[in-house]
Structure formats: structure tokens, C-alpha cells
Structure 1
Amino acid sequence: KQTLLPLLKEESSSFIFPCKPAVQRPELQYMVMELLRCIPFLLFLLFVCGLDHFLYSILSIIQHHSFIEYSYQTSHHLSVNVMGTSLMAQLLRSTIGALNTSFESGMETSNRACLPQPTGMTRQQYLYTCLPLGALALLCLAQVYPFRLRRAIAAFYFPKREKTRVLFLYNKLLRQRKNFLHLQRGRVARQARQPPELGTVLLRWCRRRWPWMRRCLRQRCTLCGTPETPEHQPCPNPDCFALYCESCW
């Protein structure tokens, strides 16, 4: 019976492992798409904040340069002098003397009540305005972890459907692995028929001449390209210099 474990490097990159704390490649693509959807809201928020600051600046300039203050002062003196010492003159002085008045008045006014009184937003208010958008971005980053529970919840309520899904995935991976191995065998055969490049020949000669240089001049797996480790297996053919990792071997 064929088994799928351990998964190949190319296969494991397309799966989501629920116990891994890091964001994985399939989740990263979905997370980036969700963050891109937040860009219109961010642009709208920046536009609104910029428009608010622009209007506040315009109204402040109008308030500062259009302020006019009026100051008005006036004085009035009225004096009636009746000459003479007769009885009629004394009577007129006592009667018309009440008309003698003297007063001074001053008045100050301005157009302050007609001018706009703008109030700018503080940094804290701007922060509170941007806080919901920041929370939305954090939810886009953190939603990948609750989404990992979707399959477990669906399997709990629909076990037969889960069994069908697992069987379909098993057969699909077997077909993909079979096609993958067939394609890789053809690629390795084509590479073997081609003459090696000068750099490859020089690298092999240095590795044979100075074995201690193998730590620096490490080969890679012929199929998946992983760097050489002690678990890598060389090709049994002495004329072939191919190297394979444990999973590809």
C-alpha cells in the first residue's frame, strides 16, 4: 500500500499545518488579499483627515486676517450763557441753565461674532480615528488562525463528507507524485545527456582534490535543490554525480 508521508518539499508547501505558529504560504496569499482590501479604507481615511486639516487651516487664516475691531469716541458740550443782571436775565439763566450739558462717550466693537471659530483635531483624536482601521488590519493578520479550525468543525458535523475529502486528497496526491516523479526522471535524464559546464567540472575537481572544501562547496539535490547534508544519497552509478536528498531518494 502506497503512503504519502513524509510529504515532499513541493507538497508540504501547499498544505496548512494547524500546529505551526508561523503564517504559511497558502495563508499568506489570502492574508495579503485581505490587507489589500483595507487599502481603499486607508486612502479614504487619509483623504478625510487631510480634508479636515485643510479646512481647519483655511478657516484659521480667515479668522486671523479678517478680524476687524472698531473704536469710536465722541464728546458733546452745550453751554448757554445769558448776559445781564436784570430780573429777566436771572429768570432765563435759571430756566435755560438746565440745558447746559456735557458728556463723553466711547464705543468699541468688532466682527468676531461673524467670523468662523474652527477647532482642530488633536493627535489623540486622530489616533482614535485610525484605531478601527488598525484593528481591522490586525484582524486580517490574525484571522488565519481561527480559519484553521474550519476543517475540524466541518469534520465533526459531517464525518462522511470528511472521509470523502480525505480519500479524494489521497488519490490526488498519488497522481501528482506519480506525474512528478515521471517528469523529474525525464529532466534528470536530459541533464545527464548534456555535457557538464565548466563551473560544474571545476567544482567537482575541487571537491575531489580538497575534501575539506565540501563544507563550503556543497552540492544540491538534483530534484528539489536542497543543500547537501549528511543524509543526502549519491547516485550508485560511479559515472553519475547526481545527489538526492532523503525524501527524493
Structure 2
Amino acid sequence: MGSGLLGAKTGLKVRELLETLPILLLLVVLCGLDWALYSIFDTIRHHSFLQYSFRSSHKLEVKVGGDSMLARLLRKTIGALNTSSETVMESNNMPCLPQPVGLDARAYWRAAVPIGLLVCLCLLQAFGYRLRRVIAAFYFPKREKKRILFLYNDLLKKRAAFTKLRRAAILRRARQQKAPRHPLADILHRGCPLLRRWLRRRCVVCQAPETLESYVCRTLDCEAVYCWSCWDNMRQRCPVCTPREELSSSAFSDSNDDTAYAG
């Protein structure tokens, strides 16, 4: 019974861990997608960068020759128009390029820590339930006693029901073995060694094929087949031909205690 409860708790724990698996997979997918997008945009930013440089210069100069008054007047008037300039202009497409920002280690830790806490809670949930029961038993001992008696009686009922089901299955398989086989099956069993493996009788408990070490019940009109391990587990008593009143419940269960309800 203890192994059954342990298996149930283990199954519950595994189921809860499986329920956290989609969240973990979603986190991994999102982190991977973030890294992939950052790598793509960073590659685009590095390999798509273009820079343009434009340089231009001009010089305007008017020369007036002569020493006359008109020449001097023109030199003073038109000389103000003499200009020179040089233009240098640089431009790039940096404002049009993506500027990706990668997540740092702190961001990844912030995303992973809640998932880790959730997994730890799933693993430690059974201990929390036990602690809850211990606290409740400390403050309400009579209620705890009633709970234990109820669980014990419930386990005894389940064991009795399981014993009936297993005995019924053994009886059904034994009746199927005693049923006459088709003559063709006997002919194939004798004449074709390759088919003997599938035509052999099987253990009425575990359905293992009959071997030389198998035990065949010596009771008349029974001849139920048992493998040696099942026959030993049955304490060398055939449940097919032995009356139910003579069989102890311990022959069908892992406990040596007889079925008795606690009050």
C-alpha cells in the first residue's frame, strides 16, 4: 500500500512538472527568438552602413586693370564681389538603420528565476502537504485519528476489491486454458516447431509462456499453469481449485495482514 501511495504522489509530482513544461518551453523560445532577432538586426546595422562625403569649392574674383579714376572706382565697387568658399558635407544612413539592444544577464535571470521557483515548489509540494498534516494533527489529534482510520479502512476495501478482481481474472484464464483447442492447433503444435512458441499455454497470473520450469496444478480437472515465480508468490496454493474460504488474503497481496476493518 505504501508503494501505491508513493507511486500516486510521484505521478502527481510528474504531472505538475509536465504542466510547468509549456511555460519553460515558452521562455526558451522567447529567449531564443530575442537572441535571433538581435543577431539579425545587428548584422543589418553593421553591413548596411553607408557614408557619403561631398566637397565643393568656388572662387569669384574680378580684376580691373588701369590707373584711371574709373578703373579705381570699379576696383573699389566690384572688388567687394570677390568671394571664395569651400563646402564639406558628410552624411550617412545611420538614423535609418535598426538600433538593437541585447538583453543583459540580469534580464535573463529575472525571467528564469520565477520558473526555477515554480519547479522547486512542484518538487517540494509533497513536503508542504506533510507539514500541513503534521500541524493539523498537533492541534486536532482526534480528527487525525479519524482520518487515519478512514484511510486504513479505505485501503482494506480497495485491497479486497483488487483480490476479487485478480482471482476472477485467474479463474477466467484457467477456464480458457481448459477449453478444448481446435484440432488444427494440436497438429501445428506437433508438426511445426516454429509455431510452438505461440501455441504454448501461458501462466494464468502473468501470461508468461509455459516452460519446462512451469508448474502445472496436479488437481484433477484443473491443470492450471503457473510460472515458478507466480507459483511461489501464491505460496504454492492454486486459487483455481482451492476454495475461497481456505485462501488467505495474503496470497493475493503484498501484506501479511488479514483483511480486518478498524473501528
With the shorter chain as reference, the TM-score category is: 0.5 to 0.7
Q: CA deviation at 1:86?
A: 2.3
Q: Which blocks of at least 5 consecutive residues in structure 1 are unaligned?
A: 1-10, 16-23, 206-217, 226-232
Counterparts of 1:112-191 in structure 2, within 5 Å, are: 112-122=94-104, 125-182=107-164
Structure 1's 113 and 221: CA in aligned 2 closer, same or farther, altered over 3 A?
same
User: Quick one: which amino acid aligns to residue 169 of structure 1?
Assistant: L
Measure the CA separation in 2 of the matches of 1:58 and 1:201. 67
Deviates more, 1:30-39 or 1:172-181: 172-181
The answer as to whether partners of 2:231 and 2:237 remain within 8 angstroms in 1 is: no
Q: What SS does the corresponding residue of 1:118 show, helix, strand or coil?
A: coil
1:202 to 212, 230, 236: 212
Matched, 1:30 2:12: yes
Measure the CA separation in 2 of the matches of 1:182 and 1:55. 63
TM-score (norm 1): 0.63
Could you say which residue in structure 1 is the equivalent of 2:42?
Answer: 60
Deviates more, 1:151-160 or 1:184-193: 184-193
Identical residues among aligned pairs (%): 46
Could you say which residue in structure 2 is the equivalent of 1:45?
Answer: 27
Looking at both structures, which has the greater relative contact order when contacts are Cα pairs under 8 Å and sequence separation is at least 6? 1
Measure the CA separation in 1 of the matches of 2:76 and 2:11. 106
The answer as to whether partners of 1:188 and 1:222 remain within 8 angstroms in 2 is: no
Instruction: Report how many residues are paired.
Output: 207
User: Quick one: which amino acid aligns to residue 92 of structure 2?
Assistant: S
Q: CA deviation at 1:32?
A: 1.8
The answer as to whether partners of 1:184 and 1:223 remain within 8 angstroms in 2 is: no
Q: Which blocks of at least 5 consecutive residues in structure 2 are unaligned?
A: 179-199, 203-208, 216-226, 243-250, 258-263
RMSD: 3.9
The answer as to whether partners of 2:59 and 2:85 remain within 8 angstroms in 1 is: yes
Measure the CA separation in 1 of the matches of 2:43 and 2:254. 74
The answer as to whether partners of 2:53 and 2:90 remain within 8 angstroms in 1 is: yes
Structure 1's 160 and 86: CA in aligned 2 closer, same or farther, altered over 3 A?
same
Matched, 1:13 2:3: yes
Judging by fraction of residues, say which structure has more helix.
Answer: 2
1:220 to 229, 236, 240: 229
The answer as to whether partners of 2:54 and 2:90 remain within 8 angstroms in 1 is: yes
Measure the CA separation in 1 of the matches of 2:95 and 2:164. 86
